Structures are given as structure tokens and as C-alpha cells.
Amino acid sequence: MTVNDRFAALGIDNAPGQQAPVQKTGERVMDFSHGDVDAFPPASGAIEAVNEAYLAGSGRAYSPYRGHGDLLNEVADKLAGFTGAPVDPANGLMITPGTQGGLFLALSAIVEPGDKVAIVEPDYFANRKIIAFLGGRIVPVALDYEDVSAPATVDVERIEDAARSGTKLLVFSNPNNPTGVVYTQDQIRAIVSIAQMHGMFVVVDQLYSRLIYPGQSFTHLRASGIDPANCLTLMGPSKTESLSGFRTGVAMGPAPILDRMEQILAIHSLRTAGYNQAVLTTWFNEPEGWLEQRVEEHQDLRNDLVSLFRSVDGVAVRPTEGGSYLFPKLPEMGIPAGAFCESLRLEDSIVVTPGAEFSPHHAASIRLNFSQDRHRAVAAVESIVQRIEERTR
């Protein structure tokens, strides 16, 4: 396989955030590929913490690769409280260059060329692509989320078959990116039981696990009876907390995997930016009521946009249960969904992410991150809806 073949197989050309919006005269662009930190600003204190770290100088510019020790201690307590299981700051926690950086390091520490890895479809675009980069073999596992009258269900039998036939690792995001569904406690327990039975390792990306809508309950895999030696959890303050510009996340997992992740980090980017790590002091430390308000505002936005999408014949959309993504399935419009996304970008200055980024079977869907200014998001979805109607009339 030549290098060109290998990169073509990776297929990272349309990664979310890469398609620059087209700005027309007098119009603002609407970029649904990521959230708007102006509409939902960070809680106060983050930039101040970075400034303090800068002024503190040498001791903060460089940290051990795993992160500054005092921050690891502080974050370990918060994460233990949030997830409901102990976190060892010395051997079970690492500060990562964003949650994305943590995902790359975790999979690099676990997957050998030829290894079979179970990947949920649809799920975060990089899961599949990192496995391809590492030479792993993808075992796809379907997530059924289209029936809005029932909880979403991942194909547990398929996971069990995969584990029985030597699949070493399951990777998934919860809440799921791009569909916004939250795994039920029963589903998480079923995954734990398979992992326990077959010694399968599970990496769970819980980046959005603080933005859970009322009526949903969130189950932390790491506190659900799984052997801690077989579970790694990724989180970070990039999304709900709007601190993405600092590229800081965390990984909680067993010592041998973190040891290897640290070795990969040494050749990957050395360490999470030393000063930026300080934003973690604000995490789980926001003013009282801040998180509740953030959830409520996102819920209102979700409701607005779901209603808009449902006003068009042929569009199917499941209301988000956690996080800030909608993943509506579009009707047949006579052009491929990717071309429709491109026309939105060029004609309406609206960027959405094609569903094909998240699964080979979901090309008819589009993903929107609705963590945006409410007025502008509604106006943009009205335009999208109108374009769909024009093409299906």
C-alpha cells in the first residue's frame, strides 16, 4: 500500500471544522461544525488562571508529561465525585492535549496493527480514523437511535460476538456524537458484562457528559462494575464549558495504559500546553446555577430546532438527550447529502457536517452543533429547512 493509498483510506478530508464558511458581503456565516463560545462563553476564571500560570513562570511552562501534579490532585477529586468511582491522581489520571489528543493517545497505547476494534456507527469521526491510522481492523457495531419512542440501543449481541472472536477493544462516545443519545444503564451494564466476561478493553469518550437534559439519567461506565484495568474514560472542558481554545482534556484509566499514553505523548506533543492546564482549576468549579442554566438554554435551543426540522416532510430527527448535537436524517433530494451540505456552505454561508463523517451508513444525515446564538441558529435552520423544501417539492 502506498502512502497515497493509505491516506485515501483514512478519508480525513472533510473532518468537522475543516470546511471554511463562505462569507458573503454583509452576511455573517453560521458554522454548525462546532459551538460558538460567544453565545455560550466560558465560566469566569479560565483566562485568569492561564495568566497566573504564565506569571508564575518556569514551574508552569513545563510540566511532567502527565500534567502538573497539583492540578492532577485537584481534578482527581472532582472527577471521582462526578463519575462516582475513585480516581488515583498519581497513577490513574493524565492531562491531555484536548479530549481529541487523549483519544489518540489512548488508542495508540492499546491498538496494535491487525487488532480488531469494535466501533459504534454512527460515532465520532476520529474513532474510525485513528484505528485505520494504527492499522487496526474495524468491527462495526450499529447504534439504533431512529425510533424516538424507545431508548437508543447499541447492538450488544454484535459486541459480544466481536469480543468472543477476539476483538480487543470497544470505543464509543456517551453521550453519542453525532446523535446526542445517552446510553441507558441497562446498555452500559450489558457492555460491562461483555467486557468482564471476555477481558475486552473499553474506551469511553464522555466529553459531553455534563450536558444532560432533564429526564435523562447518565450512567458512568467506570462506576458500573467494570474491572478498572479494562476501562479508560476521556473527558474535558472543551464543550459544555466552552474552553476548547485551550486544548485541555483528561484521561482516567489503568496505570499500564497511562504509562504507554505518556510514552506516546513524549513523541506526540510532549505535554499539554503548560499554562493552559490551569483552566482545569475552573472545571467543576463554576458558579452555582451556571451548569443548570447552560443545560436549560441548550434544551430550549434543541426544542426550537427539532420543531423546525420536524416541520418538513421526510426529515427525521431525534431530540438530543445529552450534548449539543442534532443529527437529522434528510429526505431524498435528488443530490447526494454531501453535495447538499456543500450548497449550503456556498449559497447560504451555513456549515454543517455531512453524516458520512460519522459512519459509512449515515450519509443521508447531517450533524449540527447547536451550541450557538439562538436567534441566528433558528434563522439558519429555517434556511436549511427551506432549501430542503425547495428540493423535495
Choose which of 113, 214, 289, 334 interacts with a copy of itself (CB under 8 A): 113
Candidates 217-225, 260-268, 282-290, 381-389; binding stretch for a copy of itself (CB under 8 A): 260-268
Choose which of 230, 240, 272, 282 interacts with a copy of itself (CB under 8 A): 272
What does the alpha-carbon distance between residue 39 and residue 52 come to, in Å, rounded to a whole number? Answer: 26
What does the alpha-carbon distance between residue 236 and residue 207 come to, in Å, rounded to a whole number? Answer: 6
DSSP string, 206-233: -TTTT-B-TT-----GGGTT--GGGEEE
- 53 near a copy of itself, rule: CB under 8 A: yes
Pull the grid cell for residue 89: 491522581
Choose which of 158, 268, 374, 376 interacts with a copy of itself (CB under 8 A): 268
Choose which of 30, 36, 233, 239 interacts with a copy of itself (CB under 8 A): 36
Pull the grid cell for residue 28: 455573517
Smallest CA-to-CA distance from 283 within 95, 48, 78 is with 78
Choose which of 30, 32, 49, 60 interacts with a copy of itself (CB under 8 A): 60
Choose which of 148, 270, 339, 379 interacts with a copy of itself (CB under 8 A): 270
What does the alpha-carbon distance between residue 57 and residue 356 come to, in Å, rounded to a whole number? Answer: 45
Candidates 79-87, 185-193, 263-271, 286-294; binding stretch for a copy of itself (CB under 8 A): 263-271
What does the alpha-carbon distance between residue 323 and residue 304 come to, in Å, rounded to a whole number? Answer: 16
CB 109 within 8 A of CB 268: no
Using only C-alpha atoms, what is the Rg of the chain? Answer: 21
- 244 near a copy of itself, rule: CB under 8 A: yes
Phi, psi of 325 (to 5 degrees): -110, 145
Is residue 9 packed enough to be buried (19+ CB in 10 Å), middle (13-18) or exposed (0-12)? exposed
Query: Partners of 154 in the beta sheet?
Result: 143
What does the alpha-carbon distance between residue 238 and residue 221 come to, in Å, rounded to a whole number? Answer: 21
Candidates 105-113, 186-194, 288-296, 312-320; binding stretch for a copy of itself (CB under 8 A): 105-113
For residue 312, the minimal CB distance to a copy of itself (Å) is 28
- 241 near a copy of itself, rule: CB under 8 A: no
- 7 near a copy of itself, rule: CB under 8 A: yes
For residue 196, the minimal CB distance to a copy of itself (Å) is 21
CB under 8 Å to 103, separation ≥6 — which residues? 124, 126, 127, 130, 203, 205, 234
Choose which of 220, 222, 247, 387 interacts with a copy of itself (CB under 8 A): 247
For residue 132, the minimal CB distance to a copy of itself (Å) is 9
For residue 140, the minimal CB distance to a copy of itself (Å) is 18
- 43 near a copy of itself, rule: CB under 8 A: no
Candidates 177-185, 229-237, 265-273, 346-354; binding stretch for a copy of itself (CB under 8 A): 265-273
Choose which of 98, 237, 322, 354 interacts with a copy of itself (CB under 8 A): 98
Candidates 80-88, 173-181, 270-278, 306-314; binding stretch for a copy of itself (CB under 8 A): 270-278
For residue 149, the minimal CB distance to a copy of itself (Å) is 36
For residue 242, the minimal CB distance to a copy of itself (Å) is 8
Query: Partners of 233 in the beta sheet?
Result: 204, 252
Other beta carbons within 10 angstroms of residue 139's beta carbon come to 21
Nearer to a copy of itself, 7 or 290 (CB): 7
Choose which of 30, 49, 50, 159 interacts with a copy of itself (CB under 8 A): 50
Strand 201-205 and strand 350-351: the pairing is: unpaired
CB under 8 Å to 294, separation ≥6 — which residues? 40, 211, 240
State the residue for C-alpha cell 484505528.
131
Please list the alpha-helical segments (H only) found in the chain.
Answer: 3-10, 46-56, 58-61, 69-83, 98-110, 125-133, 156-164, 185-198, 255-268, 290-310, 337-348, 374-392
What does the alpha-carbon distance between residue 276 and residue 47 come to, in Å, rounded to a whole number? Answer: 9
**DSSP run (H or E) holding 250:** strand 249-252
Total chain residues near a copy of itself (CB under 8 A): 65
Choose which of 30, 32, 65, 230 interacts with a copy of itself (CB under 8 A): 65
Q: List residues binding a copy of itself (CB under 8 A).
A: 1-3, 6-7, 10, 12-13, 15, 17-18, 20, 34, 36-39, 41, 47, 50-51, 53-54, 57-58, 60-62, 64-65, 97-98, 100-101, 104, 108-110, 112-113, 126, 129-130, 133, 135, 242, 244-247, 260, 262-264, 266-276
